[in-house]
Amino acid sequence: MRTFILTVLSILFIAGNSFAITGLGFGVRGGLVAGLDTGGIEDIVKESNPDATVDDNMTMIGGHVKIGTLPVLDFEVAAEYAWKKMDLYEGYKLKISDFSITATAIYNVKLVPAPMVTPYVGAGLGTHKLVYSIDKEEGFQDDIPLDEDATKFGYHGLLGTKVHPPMFPLEFFAQYRYTYISTDEEATKYSTILVGATFNLP
């Protein structure tokens, strides 16, 4: 975690010295994590219950701070929480969650014919606190060998579109992001579809 914080501060320091800061903003976001590949969790669950299925979707919410720079580069720091809970079989529930703090460099593609619409691409890194656990109701004594709680480094790439109405401080966006997390033995990977809004400070 300390390494990640130092990396983010270094990126922001370099950005502040290399580009003029043109604006600051903060906002909220929400979306759906899809295609979750949890690095072997499905196999562990199947060993406990061959009939169980692991849903590969999670709900995600979060917030972010945007630092605008010249000429077309923005930096963004975001905190997000994704989670799901599902029934394995009677009395047992699987819980998976991912709390992440990420830093992203975003390149804005300026379209002259459509000044209110800005496509963008980006890439970044982050820390992910992954928690996998199984809850069982009282009265069930059997244990299931599934317990992982670790903070890991991750990398992501994204593309999206911003819509910023003239003379209006809110900016809206839709985004697709692919995340790769360096978990033990097998990497954890997923895609995220999200939408959000940024309030740009004057």
* Tens of pLDDT, residues 150-188: 788 999 999 999 998 888 889 999 999 999 998 777 788
Evaluate the omega torsion of the peptide bond into residue 165 and state whether it is cis, within 30 degrees of 0.
no
pLDDT at 60: 97
Write the CATH number for 72: 2.40.160.20
Task: Answer whether residue 74 shows pLDDT above 70.
Answer: yes
Q: Quick one: tokens of 12?
A: 């922001």
pLDDT at 175: 97
The model's confidence at residue 6, banded by pLDDT at 50, 70 and 90, is very low
Give the residue numbers spanning the domain of 147. 2-200
**How many structural domains does the chain have?**
1
- pTM exceeds cut of 0.75: yes
For residue 106, give Cα distances in angstroms to 5, 94, 155, 176: 19, 35, 14, 13
Distance, in Å, from the CA atom of 192 to the CA atom of 35, rounded to the nearest integer, reads 9
